[in-house]
Amino acid sequence: MLRLHGHELSGNSAKVRLLLDLLGVPYEWVRVDLMKGEHKQPPFLALNPFGQVPVLEEGASVLSDAQAILYYLAARQGDGQWLPVDPYEQAKVVRWLSTAAGEVRQGPENARLFHRFGVKSLSIEHAQEKSSFILGQLDRHLSDRQWLELERPTIADIAVFPYIALAGEGGIDLTPYPNVLAWIRRIQALPGYAPIAGLDAELSL
Ligand SMILES: N[C@@H](CCC(=O)N[C@@H](CS)C(=O)NCC(=O)O)C(=O)O
């Protein structure tokens, strides 16, 4: 049985939950109390010395980092559906895993940390500038396609989705990006999709 250590307000944990739900893979949810600093205590640090969720355990195997876990779960399926086997196609998908950890983190993820969690050491101006950049890029990219790559949902979409969809919690308005909004709704309509805290209420406005 897979064990996923995470927190319900963590968008990085949400990425992994989402893929597991879409795959229909059963797992045990282990809540890490981030507000009480459980992720900085020795038992959790033994799993991930970075002190961050998510962490996935499968027997003696322990993986951290949402993108790495998405890669593992999709590759482990072995059918090429969520992660293509062809190296060129695979690289196209991996590019978006990088974007999730780069531009999306620097933009909407940090804006949400600033507004939703009061991390005032971050520059909100920088996060807003990065958000405009990546949302503009995504909106253009999605103007003539349904999914980020390969004309089907892949882990590229899963990695980018939560923090883009949660942008409103960081004070970022998604209405100027209709193609992004349509893509969010397509993901929410996938069979197996389960609501993510803070996200579905916001989008139903
Ligand atoms: N690169 C990691 C970042 C994970 C991350 O930042 N997790 C946050 C929750 S969404 C966390 O645990 N923050 C606590 C901390 O960094 O101290 C990933 O993509 O999973």
CB of residue 48 inside a 6 A radius of ligand 1: no
Check if 117 has its Cβ closer than 6 Å to any atom of ligand 1.
no
Going from the Cα of 37 to the center of ligand 1, the distance in angstroms, rounded, reads 13
* Predicted pLDDT of residue 205: 30
| Domain span including residue 44 | 2-77
Q: Which pLDDT belongs to residue 203?
A: 47
* Closest ligand 1 atom to Cα of 50: 16
Residue 40 gets which letter from DSSP? G
Domain count, the chain: 2
- E strand or H helix at 64: strand 61-64
82: in domain: no
39 CA distance to ligand 1 centroid (A)? 10
Instruction: Let me know whether 127 and 63 are in one domain.
Output: no
Residue nearest to ligand 1 atom 14, measured at CA: 52
Q: How far apart are CA 110 and CA 128, in angstroms?
A: 9
Q: What is residue 204's predicted lDDT score, i.e. its pLDDT?
A: 38
* CATH number of the domain residue 10 falls in: 3.40.30.10
Q: Are 136 and 42 members of one domain?
A: no
Query: What does the angle CA 56 – CA 60 – CA 62 come to, to the nearest 5 degrees?
Result: 30
**Same domain for 132 and 66:** no
Going residue by residue through the chain, which has 205 residues, state the pLDDT in tens, using 9 for 90 and above: 999 999 999 999 999 999 999 999 999 999 999 999 999 999 999 999 999 999 999 999 999 999 999 999 999 999 999 999 999 999 999 999 999 999 999 999 999 999 999 999 999 999 999 999 999 999 999 999 999 999 999 999 999 999 999 999 999 999 999 999 999 999 999 999 988 776 655 543 3
User: Are residues 50 and 17 part of one domain?
Assistant: yes
Tell me: do 36 and 96 sit in the same domain. no
CATH number assigned to the domain comprising residue 154: 1.20.1050.10
Could you tell me if the CB of 51 is within 6 A of ligand 1? yes
pLDDT value, residue 200: 59
Give the Å distance between the CA of 143 and the centre of ligand 1.
31
